[in-house]
Amino acid sequence: MQALTKQSEETGQALCPTCSQPIDGTGRVQGEVLTCTGCDGELEVVGLNPLRLEEAPEVEEDWGE
C-alpha cells in the first residue's frame, strides 16, 4: 500500500502517511529512507517540491536467485 502524504509548502514539511507526525524536509534527497519519530515507520522521500513521503517498500530476501 502506498499512501501519499499531505504537504505544507510554507514550512517544507510533510505529514507521515501512517501517524500524521510532521516530518521536516530540510536537507532531504529524493530516494532517501528515513524513520518517523512518531510511529517508527520507514518512509521514502518520493518528491521534494513539495515534500512527498510514502511508506518505504519492504526489503525481501534474494536467496541467491
Number of continuous H segments (helices) and E segments (strands) in the chain: 0, 6
Residue 59 pLDDT > 90: no
Cα torsion angle, 24, 25, 30, 32, sign: negative
Instruction: Quote the CA–CA distance of 65 and 61 in Å, as a whole number.
Output: 10
Residue 16 pLDDT > 90: yes
Residue 4 amino acid letter: L
| Predicted model pTM | 0.72
Residue 5 pLDDT > 50: no
- Of residues 59 and 20, which shows the higher confidence score? 20
SS3 4: coil
Instruction: Quote the CA–CA distance of 30 and 57 in Å, as a whole number.
Output: 15
Instruction: Quote the CA–CA distance of 30 and 51 in Å, as a whole number.
Output: 9
